[in-house]
């Protein structure tokens, strides 16, 4: 038995599912193959933020208005299909932990044009009032529109939605044994063969070592997250926090995720004790008293794929016109996934040019 489709997508993470959805909007037939499972890669994070102000200076993210609108409406669309809540609109607090950090954040805030109601500068006293016990020097940012998402649960619900939408087929636990191009793409799997007009790689960190894409300048950064639960009482705040790494508030009043991507040289991709200690140390810097009263419930590790200009890479392979890439989502997978999937499909059907900042054409296969 074999499958015949317009598009075959390798990878069932934020990139793969978003592009499958956008293609289905234009009635293309799609098949999604994952060597493991839905959200098995970086997108399996049990708590991620949609945070429009990132980095130490809290800089406004590239194309953030469009990215935010796309992910917010997509989360709402998918949430309506399931009883299980996978995201909350609880805001993100960005306390400055040092004077220099506060100065830079404030400067950046004053020079930036933020949409109304997205971002407010708060003085130290105001931040401490919002969040008793937090470490804050001179002030920080309050981002009321920040979202907190259980990305793994979102993608599980998204896959169910896609199966119903356009009969999108999912082949899980299947790694291509052979990929050949002869008029169409022939993808040989253990149990079946897929014949497709177009092939899209949305394979996250594996892109960096792929035969077709290993010439691109990806940087891999490992991160760890842990779920913590307070021993007694309930948490005295209901927002998430972005300071040293991030703290994603879960909905049960007693648990949160502390996470950070920080390991540029790593020898394995599993969780470890140093990871847990590192996260606890970071928690102590932001919330000095909380760390003593929480126990670790679970731990998770993932690798994010970054690029020299910190923007994703999308486009056609320079040799194979029908071979496509959607990768390098970096630390902003949620903000970029749906917006850039829609943008790429508009490009495929000939309505738009790709934004130069993300176009694969900015890199050369064989630089002179």
Ligand X SMILES: Cc1cc2nc3c(=O)[nH]c(=O)nc-3n(C[C@H](O)[C@H](O)[C@H](O)COP(=O)(O)OP(=O)(O)OC[C@H]3O[C@@H](n4cnc5c(N)ncnc54)[C@H](O)[C@@H]3O)c2cc1C
- Residues of the shown chain interacting with ligand X in the complex, contacts defined by CB under 6 A: 10-16, 33-36, 40-43, 45, 48-49, 175-176, 202-206, 223, 225, 246, 259, 261, 302-304, 327, 329-335
Nearer to ligand X, 139 or 146 (CB): 146
Nearer to ligand X, 29 or 43 (CB): 43
Determine phi and psi for 7, rounding to 5 degrees. Answer: -130, 135
Tokens coding 108: 């950046």
Closest distance to ligand X from the beta carbon of 320 (Å): 16
Closest distance to ligand X from the beta carbon of 28 (Å): 19
Nearer to ligand X, 95 or 327 (CB): 327
Nearer to ligand X, 54 or 106 (CB): 54
Nearer to ligand X, 140 or 204 (CB): 204
Closest distance to ligand X from the beta carbon of 310 (Å): 11
Query: What per-residue string of b and e applies to 130-143 under the rule 16 or more CB within 10 Å gives b?
Result: bbeebbbbbbbbbb
Nearer to ligand X, 142 or 158 (CB): 158
Nearer to ligand X, 36 or 255 (CB): 36
The DSSP annotation for 204-257 comes to GGGGGG-TTTTTS--EEEEEEEEEEEESSS--S--SEEEESEEEEEPTTSSEEE
Q: How far apart are CA 244 and CA 56, in angstroms?
A: 9
Region for residue 46 given its phi and psi (left: phi exceeds 0; alpha: psi -120 to 50; beta: otherwise): alpha
Closest distance to ligand X from the beta carbon of 221 (Å): 7
Q: Is the Cβ–Cβ distance between 150 and 87 less than 8 Å?
A: yes
- For 137, residues 6+ apart whose C-beta sits below 8 A from its C-beta are 96, 97, 98, 99, 101, 102, 124
Nearer to ligand X, 217 or 288 (CB): 217
3 state DSSP class of 87: strand
Closest distance to ligand X from the beta carbon of 103 (Å): 26
Closest distance to ligand X from the beta carbon of 195 (Å): 17
Closest distance to ligand X from the beta carbon of 102 (Å): 23
| CB neighbourhood size of 222 (10 A) | 21
Q: How far apart are CA 35 and CA 172, in angstroms?
A: 6
Q: Are strands 30-34 and 2-10 parallel, antiparallel or unpaired?
A: parallel
Q: Is the Cβ–Cβ distance between 71 and 335 less than 8 Å?
A: yes
Closest distance to ligand X from the beta carbon of 110 (Å): 26
Q: How far apart are CA 231 and CA 297, in angstroms?
A: 11
Q: How far apart are CA 51 and CA 42, in angstroms?
A: 17
């Amino acid at each position: 038995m074999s499958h015949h489709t317009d598009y075959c997508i390798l990878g069932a993470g934020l990139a793969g599912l978003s592009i499958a959805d956008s293609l289905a909007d234009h009635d293309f037939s799609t098949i999604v193959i994952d060597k493991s499972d839905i959200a098995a890669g970086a997108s399996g994070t049990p708590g991620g933020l949609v945070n429009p102000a990132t980095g130490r200076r809290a800089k406004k993210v590239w194309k953030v208005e469009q990215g935010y609108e796309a992910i917010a409406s997509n989360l709402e669309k998918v949430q309506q299909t399931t009883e299980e809540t996978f995201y909350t609109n609880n805001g993100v607090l960005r306390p400055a932990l040092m004077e220099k950090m506060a100065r830079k954040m404030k400067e950046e805030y004053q020079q930036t044009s933020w949409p109304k109601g997205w971002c407010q500068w708060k003085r130290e006293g105001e931040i401490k009032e919002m969040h008793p016990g937090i470490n804050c020097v001179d002030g920080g940012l309050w981002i009321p529109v920040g979202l907190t998402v259980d990305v793994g649960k979102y993608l599980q619900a998204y896959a169910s939605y896609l199966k119903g939408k356009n009969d999108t087929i999912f082949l899980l636990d299947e790694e291509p044994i052979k990929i050949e191009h002869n008029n169409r793409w022939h993808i040989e799997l253990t149990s079946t063969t897929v014949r497709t007009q177009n092939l899209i790689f949305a394979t996250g960190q594996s892109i960096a070592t792929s035969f077709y894409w290993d010439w691109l300048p990806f940087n891999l950064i490992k991160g760890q997250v842990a779920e913590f639960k307070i021993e007694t009482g309930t948490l005295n705040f209901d927002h998430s926090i972005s300071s040293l790494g991030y703290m994603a508030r879960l909905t049960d009043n007693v648990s949160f995720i502390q996470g950070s991507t920080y390991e540029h040289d790593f020898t394995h991709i599993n969780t470890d004790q140093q990871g847990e200690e590192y996260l606890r140390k970071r928690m102590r810097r932001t919330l000095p008293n909380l760390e003593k009263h929480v126990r670790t419930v679970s731990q998770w590790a993932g690798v994010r794929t970054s690029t020299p200009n910190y923007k994703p890479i999308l486009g056609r392979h320079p040799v194979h016109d029908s071979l496509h890439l959607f990768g390098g989502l970096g630390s902003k997978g949620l903000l970029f996934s749906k917006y850039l999937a829609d943008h790429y499909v508009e490009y495929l059907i000939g309505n738009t040019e790709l934004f130069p900042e993300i176009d694969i054409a900015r890199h050369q296969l064989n630089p002179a």
